[in-house]
Structure 1
Amino acid sequence: MQYVVGTVAEFEEHRAKIVRLGDRTIGVFRINDEYYALRNYCPHQGAPLCAGKVLPDLTAQDDSQVDVDEKTWFVACPWHGWEYDIRTGQSYFGAHHPPARGYHVSVTAQASAPEVQGRAPGPYVADSYEVRVQDRYVVVDTSRRPDRPR
């Protein structure tokens, strides 16, 4: 099913607009003028995922320099801080951070998670949906989900 979720002008850069589509809420993100959608549900413990902070991938070379990767953006779960790649929904652990205690998860064979320097893929993947801009309207297609790693 396809839903018009607003005009391009209604979407702020690096922020989620949370919309209700049928019986679920979805966060639609505008990142560097591209659009992505994640289900507003953290697979870790059910928090409203898209209400979390949106941040780029940051790496520290030493105490004086921090590198910002403007191509990779995460949303951090507001409850426990789990970070999810906005493009794919894949969870990641930060560099030098032990994983949070999780639950047993069965994973079907799929392509591996994209590499993000200094991070290891976590066990969770948030639902993501295909988004396109048609004329000046942003459209979310909940029937088609991009291939996503697990």
Structure 2
Amino acid sequence: MKPYKVCKVEDLKSGERKLLTIEGRNIGLFNVKGKYTAIKNSCPHQGAPLCEGRVEGMTVVKKNRELEYIRDGEILRCPWHGWEFDLLNGNSIFNPLKCRTKAYKVTIEKDPVETYPVTIENEYIFVHI
């Protein structure tokens, strides 16, 4: 997998996203509470621009039948039909073993261009395809 420098760490704040095209692939890069994730910008249901959907959490029923809102900022909802996906791994919420969208490896690295002895102060986000 070849890494692509896409932006500086400080350019993508927690809760933000950046839509990218790398080698003809449409990808959404997300900062999920300081963890950077990248997924294919296409819903497996009908090809909607998945990464343009709302990022939220989900409500679950606890054993005592109370509702609890969990995973705030980790769930991406498709803008067309509301299908939900885990931003941390690309799996669908309703059927994670059979339905998912492609998740890409994301790393934080120092700027790799060093032609002279220098001190590197800026970090960049790389998406590996």
TM class by shorter chain equals 0.7 to 0.9
| Equivalent-residue separation in structure 2 for 1:10 and 1:29 (angstroms) | 11
Q: Write the letter of the residue equivalent to 2:69.
A: D
Give the CA deviation at 1:74: 1.1
Match of residue 130, structure 1, among 87, 93, 105: 105
Give the CA deviation at 1:57: 3.3
Structure 1 residue 36 and structure 2 residue 37: aligned? yes
Give the CA deviation at 1:39: 0.7
Q: What's the CA shift string for 1:49-80, capped at 9, x where partnerless? A: 1001111233355898633335x811100000
- State the number of aligned residues: 115
TM-score calculated relative to the size of structure 2: 0.78
Aligned-pair Cα RMSD in Å: 2.2
Any idea what SS the aligned residue of 1:88 has? coil
User: Where in structure 2 are there 5+ consecutive unaligned residues?
Assistant: 111-122
Q: Write the letter of the residue equivalent to 1:133.
A: I
Give the CA deviation at 1:10: 1.3
**Which residue of structure 2 aligns with residue 140 of structure 1?**
127
Q: What aligned pairs does 1:16-35 form with structure 2 within 5 A after superposition? A: 16-35=17-36
TM-score calculated relative to the size of structure 1: 0.68
Any idea what SS the aligned residue of 1:91 has? coil
| Equivalent-residue separation in structure 1 for 2:16 and 2:65 (angstroms) | 29
Q: Write the letter of the residue equivalent to 1:141.
A: H
- Structure 1 stretches (4+) deviating beyond 6 angstroms? none
| Equivalent-residue separation in structure 2 for 1:45 and 1:67 (angstroms) | 28
**Which residue of structure 1 aligns with residue 90 of structure 2?**
89
| Equivalent-residue separation in structure 2 for 1:15 and 1:60 (angstroms) | 28
Change in 2 beyond 3 A, CA 1:44/1:68:
same
Change in 2 beyond 3 A, CA 1:58/1:13:
farther
